[in-house]
Amino acid sequence: MRLKDPFSLKTADMTKRTNRPKKTRDEESSDEVGSMCQHVSKAVDLTSVKKAVTGSVWSVCSECLRERNMFEGEPAGSHDVLVCLKCGFQGCNHSESQHSTKHQQAHHPESHCITISLSTWKAWCFECNEELSTHCNKKALAQALDFLQKHSVKATSGKAFIKFREEPSEYSDPQRGKSPTNSTPYPVKGINNLGNTCFFNAVMQNLSQTHMLNDLIQEVKEKGHKLKISPPPDTNLVPLMITLPNPEPLTSAMFLFLQSMKEAGKGPISPKLLFNQLCQKAPRFKGYQQQDSQELLHYLLDSIRVEETKRIKAGILKAFNNPTEKTADEETKRQVKAYGKEGVKMNFVDRIFVGELTNTIMCEECEHIFTVKEAFIDISLPIIEERVRSICLEKVYTSARKQMLISSLPPVVTLHLKRFHQAGMNLRKVNRHVDFPLTLDLAPFCSASCKNLVPGERVLYSLYGIVEHSGSMRGGHYTAYVKVRAPQRRSEQRRNQSGGREASGPSPGQWVYVSDTNVQTVPESRVLNSQAYLLFYEFC
């Protein structure tokens, strides 16, 4: 993956730099953003901002609106708007218009140099030519951000729910000539922030647009669901049909949350029930402190996986009349164990998100080969920086080669870009932008023994969701980009669960940006410029 500069603002269009020492490349990619800005005291006037913002069209460039400048059917300045903290002017950062930059230049002596982006909530000083941390700067900057975010909730309350029309008949069932019941794209709703829970909300937006998750959890949500377990031939066991008991509390809360995200209606929803159930399983998320989205995803899926495994095992035991160690003979024990081994893999978390990696290590001295297989929910990828900072010293006992390949592909592959890592005694964040594809071919990264993979074929996955992190280690904000598209036909999903064959390509759709309760449609170009932290791909 190719790296480029982290900010979308073009430095060529900025004013001249101050005489402060130029930052090294190391500093640009670390979390050392937000040093005290000397312009805050003169460039922030909250009273003027409140007066101007409340009397203007929200999140639209004033100049583009006045000039009737249109882009993709909307005012050109409705995609990336910066608010001047001196006067409340809303100006676009569109590559052609640059009304925000022109406003600052026209009022240069009056210190109109600090802005806040209404899409990323990042603060930028044109004079310092750098991003400012709204969490560690002067109080006036934090107050301005707080006002703008609260005003955004009020101004977009009618936009906190976006529903898209049903796709054309190309998604209809060719056998019946009718549209399947799940052909309508799922709506996008805002999610209330319970207090520093943006890390949770951003993940949930992506999970709510994971179509296979919505379908499978719908199937197993109630007591009495039938599940067929087919052990491998070498066990000499016939398929067993089991009846599942009631789902456990976290799984039930997950279903209710996903259902409420799909239902028509205005306004954002509260994730309190689901979040509280997760905190019962993972107390580390209690206290409403900012947490890590990747860890949240792991704890959530692992906890649901444990609940569903317990549920499947209970169904197996019931099919054998609940045998105990004292009452069961050796053959019954063998069968229960065999069905259990295969049955636990059939929980809906494994069927959607869990794949398998094969690690092969060869000692270059004795040429002995070690092979280790491990399951994964996501694949963590390091962000390689352009020069080594220090020498991720250790004793080297022997030379070896290591190769890691995918041996089993899940229908949904999640990539984790490792932006947070240890640097000596300190934790730091890599703020560089990383290019990522809309369509990803995973065939070159699969082992020769990958299930259902024919040599020479491509295995295409389509991007449908992103978790973005802006800011630094000391303070930041998680947001989401999700692609609203028509769900796949059920026959396609069953084919894809086991790896599938190469499909024609991703479905068309509309990208949506979500920051807690703020929901807005965005062009694909903005998605590709995001500072991705988690990437969600589905088999296409």
Counting other chains too, the contacts that 66-69 makes at CB distance below 8 Å and 24 or more residues apart are 69/97
CA 453-455-456 angle, to 5 degrees, is 115
With 0-12 / 13-18 / 19 or more C-beta atoms within 10 angstroms meaning exposed / middle / buried, residue 379 is middle
| Segments in 197-248 forming alpha helices (H) | 198-208, 211-219
Give the pairing of strands 476-485 and 532-539: unpaired
Please, are residues 84 and 115 in contact by the beta-carbon 8 Å criterion? Answer: yes
Give the pairing of strands 378-382 and 412-418: parallel
| CA–CA gap between residue 513 and residue 526 (Å, rounded) | 9
Burial 276-309, CB ≥16 within 10 A → b, else e: ebbeebbeebeeeebbebbebbbbbbebbbbbbb
| CA–CA gap between residue 25 and residue 386 (Å, rounded) | 9
- What φ, ψ does residue 372 adopt, rounded to 5°? -130, 130
| CA–CA gap between residue 352 and residue 365 (Å, rounded) | 41
Structure tokens belonging to residue 130: 């750098």
Q: What is the identity of the amino acid at 336?
A: V
- Catalytic positions, written as ranges: 198, 477
Quote the DSSP letter at residue 408.
E
| CA–CA gap between residue 468 and residue 155 (Å, rounded) | 23
Bridge partners for 178 per DSSP: 173
Quote the DSSP letter at residue 98.
-
User: For the chain, how many residues are written?
Assistant: 540
Give the pairing of strands 74-75 and 460-471: unpaired
| Segments in 329-467 forming alpha helices (H) | 330-343, 348-353
Strand intervals (E) in 308-411: 355-363, 369-376, 378-382, 400-408
Please, are residues 253 and 281 in contact by the beta-carbon 8 Å criterion? Answer: no
- What φ, ψ does residue 160 adopt, rounded to 5°? -75, 0
Residue with tokens 């829970």: 197
